[in-house]
Amino acid sequence: MTTETATLGGGCFWCLEAVYQELRGILHVESGYTGGHVANPTYEQVCDGDTGHAEVVRLEFDPAQVSYREILEIFFTIHDPTTLNRQGNDVGTQYRSVIYYHTPEQHDIAKQVIACMASVWDAPIVTELSSAETYYKAEDYHQNYFRQHPLQGYCAFVVAPKVAKFRKMFTDRLNAPA
């Protein structure tokens, strides 16, 4: 099986991770940091906003089951790509909307999807499009966060509604129940 990698930032990585874990064709989801200038940043450093990193998810996917285009179309429905350096109450460059492409083909597809999505949103899309940079896996306690802490405040009030929206809009794309 041939797999591909996608790296996306759309606010807090817990939200993106929780959604993509439920998408058929996604083989692995990992929360991490990229796009900054500090080697091996910690969560606290990234949250301070001084490292230049974005909170991201790195997806390993099977393109025979889910296309990169589909992954991006979902990305644009589960976060607001029109708010610069912010998602809800999360404010700072670490929460920017960004697509880190891994191949020239991903770059071209991302440009096409951004252009298509421009007609869907009422405000201009501010999503950055950048070449994939050095990626750092987030601390273990950030991995599978929503699955492990569904009743935690942020998860219950921010992550859960995004997951519910995804489930409703993309019912036909959900993983089969285990």
Smallest CA-to-CA distance from 29 within 172, 163, 164, 171 is with 163
H/E element holding 34?
A: strand 26-34
Kindly list the distances between the CA atom of residue 152 and the CA atoms of 89, 94, 147, 163, in Å, as whole numbers in the listed order.
16, 22, 11, 15
Q: Which of 12, 15, 47, 116 is catalytic?
A: 12
Left, alpha or beta for 84 (phi > 0: left; psi -120 to 50: alpha)?
beta
- State yes or no: is 155 an active-site residue: no
Q: How far apart are the first and last CA of the chain?
A: 22
CB 52 within 8 A of CB 38: yes
Q: Please name the residue ranges forming H helices in the chain.
A: 13-20, 43-48, 68-78, 104-117, 145-148, 153-154, 160-169
The single-letter DSSP state of residue 165 is H
Catalogue the active-site residues.
Answer: 12
